[in-house]
Amino acid sequence: MNIKIFGQLTDITGNNSVTLEDVADTDILLQQLQLKYPALLNAKYAVAVNKQIIQNKTALQQDAEVALLPPFSGG
């Protein structure tokens, strides 16, 4: 599964996308990402699945479009 990374979160991951295997839901996704990139534990970001920001554990299909989004500022 390919996860798109945006904004200052790319400073943590060193890339604008990350690939993970066998990710059943967003809780597992976040655990795997935080193990690989411990600085994500202290970062503020939202998780979007198929262009919808999610708040709770969400099941993931292998072809799901997942993104980590930094905080937005209005204007």
3-state secondary structure of 10: helix
Please write the tens of the pLDDT for every residue from 6-65. Answer: 999 999 999 999 999 889 999 999 999 999 999 999 999 999 999 999 999 999 998 999
Q: Is residue 74 scored above 90 in pLDDT?
A: no
**CATH numbers and ranges of domains, the chain:** 2-69 (3.10.20.30)
Q: Which pLDDT score, from 0 to 100, does residue 62 have?
A: 87
11-to-15, 56, 68 alpha-carbon distances in Å: 7, 26, 13
- DSSP result, 13-50: HSSSEEE-SS--BHHHHHHHHHHH-GGGGG---EEEET
Q: What is the pTM of this model?
A: 0.90
